[in-house]
């Protein structure tokens, strides 16, 4: 696809910070195509004939980052498919589209590769809150989510990876002046109002 015709916003934040929840709202506001890297990896994990099933399952359970080639390819394919099928955002045609890329990039190598091979993101929406808040949300969700990583042991590992590996990515984009940080401790509605305003700014 024509990389110059797409607008990309990266959505980052710790496990359970509310990335997916806020993305759903922003899709309704602005007609983005929402692609969650974690959801794409979970779908690939369960796809029959995938050679990466076991690798992905292990990484997700251990809270480590799947090798970037796998994730970047899944994202690129999903973007191309959305553009081709006219699902790249409401009212977008002629190969144009806008994407919310949720939960990616969470390691420096992924960030550089995506910048280089796919496109540069217009901004990073960074949802920040405390580990206490995130832990409570994830344990609550774990009662019904069926996610293999919504248990105390995996959550602890996810927090470590977030601090050690993903925070440097956020700092990298912050140094470029690309980050809108939003405190996501408040209610879904209150966080949404702030997120909407931050996105509106770059679309103006
Ligand atoms: N909730 C949300 N907002 C709330 C609010 N304001 N007030 C009260 N409750 C709120 O929300 C989590 C829960 O909190 C929900 O129950 C929600 O209702 C409630 P959600 O919106 O789902 O949070 P989110 O930030 O999306 O949390 P998620 O668990 O999806 O974050 P992770 O970043 O941990 O998970 P992800 O799916 O992105 O990645 C999973 C794994 O995949 C990673 O650990 C890694 O192993 C792998 N991965 C890679 O290897 N590479 C990648 O590039 C991406 C992922
Ligand atoms: Mg999510």
- CATH top class, domain 3-198: alpha beta
**In this predicted structure, what is the pLDDT of residue 93?**
66
DSSP 165: I
**In this predicted structure, what is the pLDDT of residue 53?**
98
Residues 34 and 102: beta-carbon distance below 8 Å: yes
107 lines ligand 1 (CB under 6 A): no
Of all helices (H) and strands (E), which one includes residue 169?
helix 167-175
> Average pLDDT for residues 143-151, to the nearest whole number?
96
pLDDT tens digit string along 15-54?
Answer: 999 999 999 999 999 999 999 999 999 999 999 999 999 9
Dihedral sign computed on CA atoms, order 88, 94, 95, 97: negative
Give Cα 115 distance to the centre of its chain. Answer: 15
**In this predicted structure, what is the pLDDT of residue 9?**
98
Tell me what percent of the residues of the chain surpass a pLDDT of 70: 98
Radius of gyration (C-alpha) of the chain in whole angstroms: 16
**In this predicted structure, what is the pLDDT of residue 176?**
96
DSSP 3: G
142 lines ligand 1 (CB under 6 A): no
Tell me the ipTM for this assembly: 0.99
Of all helices (H) and strands (E), which one includes residue 79?
helix 68-84
Instruction: Give the start-to-end residue ranges of the domains of the chain.
Output: 3-198
- Alpha carbon nearest to ligand 1 atom 40, residue: 38
46 lines ligand 1 (CB under 6 A): no
pLDDT tens digit string along 54-106?
Answer: 999 999 999 999 999 999 999 999 999 999 888 887 666 677 899 999 999 99
How far apart CA 187 and CA 190 sit, in angstroms, is 5
**In this predicted structure, what is the pLDDT of residue 69?**
95
Strand 97-102 and strand 6-13: the pairing is parallel
pLDDT tens digit string along 177-199?
Answer: 999 999 999 999 999 999 999 99
User: Which of 98, 89, 87, 96 is closest to 121 using CA atoms?
Assistant: 98
Instruction: Kindly give the distance from the C-alpha atom of residue 73 to the centroid of ligand 2, in angstroms, as a whole number.
Output: 19
DSSP states along 13-40: ESTTSSHHHHHHHHHHHH-PEEEEHHHH
21 lines ligand 1 (CB under 6 A): yes
């Amino acid at each position: 696809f024509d990389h110059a015709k797409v607008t990309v916003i990266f959505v980052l934040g710790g496990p359970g910070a509310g990335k997916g929840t806020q993305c759903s709202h922003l899709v309704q506001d602005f007609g983005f195509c929402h692609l969650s890297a974690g959801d794409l990896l979970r779908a690939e994990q369960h796809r029959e004939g995938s050679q990466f099933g076991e690798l992905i399952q292990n990484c997700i359970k251990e809270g480590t980052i799947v090798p970037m080639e796998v994730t970047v390819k899944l994202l690129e394919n999903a973007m191309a498919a959305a553009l081709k099928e006219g699902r790249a955002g409401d009212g977008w045609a002629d190969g144009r589209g806008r994407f919310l890329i949720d939960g990616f990039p969470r390691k420096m190598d992924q960030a550089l590769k995506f910048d280089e091979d796919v496109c540069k993101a217009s901004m990073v929406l960074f949802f920040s809150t405390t580990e206490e808040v995130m832990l409570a949300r994830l344990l609550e969700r774990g009662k019904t989510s069926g996610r293999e990583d919504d248990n105390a042991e995996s959550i602890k590992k996810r927090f470590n990876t977030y601090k050690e590996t993903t925070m440097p990515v956020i700092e990298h984009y912050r140094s470029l002046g690309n980050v809108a940080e939003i405190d996501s401790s408040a209610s879904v509605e209150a966080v949404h109002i702030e997120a909407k305003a931050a996105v509106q700014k770059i679309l103006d």
